[in-house]
Amino acid sequence: MNRITRTFETLQSQGKKAFVAYVAAGDPDYDRSLEILKGLADAGVDILELGLPFSDPLADGIVNQMAADRALKAGMNTHRVIDLIRDFRKTHETPLVLFTYLNPIFHYGYEKFQIDAVAAGADGILLLDLPPDEAEQSKEFADNGGLLQIRLIAPNTPPQRAKMLAEKAEGFIYALSRTGVTGAHGAPSADIGQLVATLKQHSRVPVCVGFGISNAEQAKSVALVADGVIVGSALVKQVEMHAGDDHPVNAVVNFAKELIDAVHGV
């Protein structure tokens, strides 16, 4: 059973919601990024989203753009992301979802990337700029080799398309709390509960909500209506603020712990 599926089954049996954390792979450098991944897993993060550094992250806000830039300048690339996953798997079993654009995978090689990512220990993938319709028509993605395809659904996604995406979702649905790019510059929409309820009518997998969640109060309110809460830019900001520290993991984990406890306490 895929680690993502197993994790949600365990949480459901415990009556708990999932906390999903996003960080950029290799930010601020390889060794400290690995430390951050391990620290978050040890702190109770249920699923880790790992962003592949890319030069043109169009769906990302400035915080995540700068994180990708730091990682690239530190020598990170897609092959090193695979190494990072492999090193993380030596000690931890927390599910890993790769958060990426199509271009890095195109350059790596579609089939080789999926084989190597699964072998290293990745569990899912969220391709930001590959429409599901096109993925279904591409033989390269007909069999994803063990990487569950995570789908994004926004508040303004047309109802019929949202229904189609929800019905075909794997692992979990990433429901956007609002439209726009990533970042904590806007609070979650007050209508997010209605979106989650609608998606759950059509989906067999959990619905997690992300975008704009930056404190424990927001995380708790979203956890009350969703199966999981996704926090990214607020955590990445902690990495940015402490990139000069020998161990930025300490600040990242201290910040994350309050949000984790808020979600798990619902």
Q: Residue 100 in contact with residue 58, Cβ under 8 Å? A: no
- Distance CA(202)–CA(189), nearest Å, equals 21
Q: Report residue 43: phi and psi, to 5°.
A: -80, -10
- Residue tagged active-site, from 49, 87, 116, 170: 49
- Residue tagged active-site, from 27, 46, 60, 123: 60
- Report helix, strand or coil for 179: coil
* b/e code 58-92 from CB counts within 10 Å (16+ = b): eebbebbbbbbbbbbebebbbebbbbbbebbeeeb
60 catalytic residue (yes or no):
yes
245 catalytic residue (yes or no):
no
Active-site amino acid positions: 49, 60
